[in-house]
Amino acid sequence: MGLNWHRWVVSAFLLVAWALILDTGEICFCMGGKTSDFLRNDYLSLDMPIDSDTFRVPPGYNAPQQVHITQGDHVGKGVIISWISPHEPGSSTVIYWAENSEFKWQAHGFFLTYKYFNYTSGYIHHCTVHNLEFDTKYYYEVGIGNTTRQFWFKTPPPVGPDVPYTFGLIGDLGQTYNSNRTLTHYEQSPAKGQTILYVGDLSYADDYPLHDNIRWDTWGRFTERIAAYQPWIWTAGNHEIDFAPQLGETRPFKPYTARYHVPYKASDSTSPLWYSIKRASAYIIVMSSYSALGKYTPQYKWLEKELPKVNRTETPWLIVLMHSPIYNSYVTHYMEGETVRVMYEKWFVEYKVDVVFAGHVHAYERSVSSKFLIILTLQLLYTKDEYSLHLQDLCALIVVSFILYIVSMIFTLNFGLRY
């Protein structure tokens, strides 16, 4: 690197900026606004016991349980409906109909089972429903022939630039009392999320002795109250790996991939662990932090072809989901996302990814490209009532930010706040 000196210059400016910011005491860089009044309890929460109301088995012979849906094609006209029959295979058929229609359609899926050490799963059904109308409420029934249960979902509006849509964002949910509070909070949120972007770590069953897969079932029943009614866009986390050679379990992601199907073939992916979808005005790319991602690997080659395909006129929002964050200043999992950052940060900048959502680190943090520093500074100006800010500090901040901005323009540096 011949241009190392400019890094020093920029670092010096950053330092000055930080010093000024720290000097004012109450100001931080996270000025994206206040998103919620919700505050989680500070203490670690215990897992809900196995006989909790949240894990209740639905009544009736062979009643479908753990019902969940996700997008089933690339544009949102398809839905994958999944559920588990506990007693016998039963039927893999889904009956569905549009809200204002008498006509009932049928779609036929399939079921599978898997074993994990001495655990044998129930009959896991997956059925993809295709060619739905956009922006339409559909009812659907599963468990045909035995105990039938009815649910509903709403398809998204057609893909396009001016299509408002509300995504919820959840990760690392687990099955503690706090997990239950998280779902309740989402249900009661006035923003009314229409689809959940799920950034990995689902059940945490692997924290139990022998990776007790019964905890995958309890998690499926726990999340059904939302996941049966709106799609969750799945991302694999470290708790999905379930690699346990001591138990003879050497196929990574076995329970996760058996239970949670995603439309990866629709985006020419060869693995359910990385894929993309379009939904409303967003193009969503899902990556796997725990699969090979170096040069020439399948994930690398897929992403290399995928990014140029995104048409920002059609989907102005480009969102990437992954489990491990590429920037993290918290002590836990510090720098675990570094391999992904080294490989892909350059592409994220080049293709102007709007936002990368990640989970894994249980401490909320967001960062923004330093090119936005000046914008943040201006934002400070407008929120000065809330934050005691001295005028001279503000002026200095603006000047420093402006110089920084010019410097970053000159060198077209796309450095993050912590490069």
Ligand X SMILES: *[C@@H]1O[C@H](CO)[C@@H](O)[C@H](O)[C@H]1NC(C)=O
Rounded distance, CA 256 to CA 202, Å?
A: 9
Say if CB 170 and CB 128 are below 8 A apart: no
Q: Which is nearer to ligand X, 191 or 342 (CB)?
A: 191
SS3 245: helix
54 binds ligand X (CB under 6 A): yes
Residue choice 23, 50, 60, 61 for contact with ligand X (CB under 6 A)? 61
106 binds ligand X (CB under 6 A): no
Rounded to a whole number of angstroms, the minimum distance from the CB of residue 228 to ligand X is 15
Select from 8-16, 29-37, 273-281, 309-317 the region that touches ligand X (CB under 6 A): 309-317
- 304-313, Cβ contacts within 8 angstroms, sequence gap of 24 or more: 304/347, 305/268, 306/267, 306/268, 306/276, 307/347, 307/350, 307/351, 308/351, 310/283, 310/351, 312/352, 313/161
Residue choice 174, 237, 255, 263 for contact with Fe ion (CB under 5 A)? 237
Nearest CA-CA partner of 121 in 112, 113, 130: 113
Select from 18-26, 49-57, 121-129, 363-371 the region that touches ligand X (CB under 6 A): 49-57
How does strand 105-108 pair with strand 93-98? Answer: antiparallel
At position 2, the amino acid (one-letter code) is G
101 binds ligand X (CB under 6 A): no
Which residue has its beta carbon closest to Fe ion?
360
Q: Which is nearer to Fe ion, 157 or 237 (CB)?
A: 237
CA distances from 119 to 66, 115, 122, 211, 215 (A): 17, 6, 10, 9, 11
Residue choice 64, 76, 78, 90 for contact with ligand X (CB under 6 A)? 90
Radius of gyration for the chain, computed over Cα atoms and rounded to the nearest angstrom: 23
238 binds Fe ion (CB under 5 A): yes
**Cβ-Cβ contacts under 8 Å for 386 (sequence gap 6 or more):** none
Q: Which is nearer to Fe ion, 109 or 237 (CB)?
A: 237
At position 292, the amino acid (one-letter code) is A
313 binds ligand X (CB under 6 A): yes
Q: Which is nearer to Fe ion, 307 or 322 (CB)?
A: 322
Segment 350-369, which members bind Fe ion (CB under 5 A)?
360
Residue choice 4, 36, 41, 118 for contact with ligand X (CB under 6 A)? 118
DSSP structure class, residue 2:
T
Rounded distance, CA 261 to CA 83, Å?
A: 11
Look up 185 and say whether it is catalytic: no
Binding partner at 328 among Fe ion, ligand X, none, C-beta below 5 to 8 Å by kind: none
Q: Which residues pair with 96 in a beta bridge?
A: 105, 140
CA end-to-end span of the chain? 15
Q: Which is nearer to ligand X, 208 or 415 (CB)?
A: 208
- Would the CA dihedral through 289, 291, 297, 301 be positive or negative? negative
Rounded distance, CA 331 to CA 316, Å?
A: 35
Residue choice 141, 201, 206, 240 for contact with Fe ion (CB under 5 A)? 201
Segment 163-222, which members bind ligand X (CB under 6 A)?
177, 180, 184, 210
Q: Work out the angle at residue 226's Cα, subtended by the Cα atoms of residues 152 and 321, and round it to the nearest 5 degrees.
A: 110
Rounded to a whole number of angstroms, the minimum distance from the CB of residue 53 to ligand X is 5
Q: Choosing from 6, 185, 333, 362, which is the catalytic residue? A: 333
Rounded to a whole number of angstroms, the minimum distance from the CB of residue 85 to ligand X is 9
Rounded distance, CA 249 to CA 264, Å?
A: 24
Say if CB 84 and CB 62 are below 8 A apart: no
39 phi/psi in degrees, rounded to 5: -125, 125
Rounded to a whole number of angstroms, the minimum distance from the CB of residue 258 to ligand X is 17
60 binds ligand X (CB under 6 A): no
Select from 70-78, 102-110, 192-200, 310-318 the region that touches ligand X (CB under 6 A): 310-318
52 binds ligand X (CB under 6 A): yes
Select from 71-79, 232-240, 313-321, 375-383 the region that touches Fe ion (CB under 5 A): 232-240
4 binds ligand X (CB under 6 A): no
38 binds ligand X (CB under 6 A): no
| Residues with catalytic function | 333
Q: Site residues (CB under 5 A) for Fe ion?
A: 201, 237-238, 360
Q: Site residues (CB under 6 A) for ligand X?
A: 48, 52-54, 61-62, 90-91, 118-119, 145-146, 177, 180, 184, 210, 311, 313-314
